[in-house]
Amino acid sequence: MAVAIDAGPYLQQKLAAIAAHRSQYPIQPDMLPLAIFQQLLSQEYFVPVALVAEVETDIRPLQAA
């Protein structure tokens, strides 16, 4: 079951955070009208994932090439 959260009240902070990491996501807060950013970024979606039933414990050292 997915959950959607209204992130609209935090849109300005979200835009500032995205702009601060332009090398990962090249966006600037003034490149689109605020109404479009509201449509694109005002909802956060979360989808639960199944937990891993078993943890991998077989750790092998790296071998030189």
Using CA atoms, how far residue 30 sits from 15, 37, 52, in Å, is: 10, 10, 42
pLDDT for 52:
58
Spatial separation of the C-alpha atoms in residues 25 and 28, rounded to whole Å:
9
* Contact in structure between 27 and 19 (CB atoms under 8 Å): yes
Size (the chain), residues? 65
Closest by Cα among 26, 15, 22 to 7: 15
Per run of 10 residues, the mean pLDDT along the chain (length 65 residues) is: 89 88 77 89 85 64 64
pLDDT for 13:
92
DSSP reduced 3-state for 36: helix
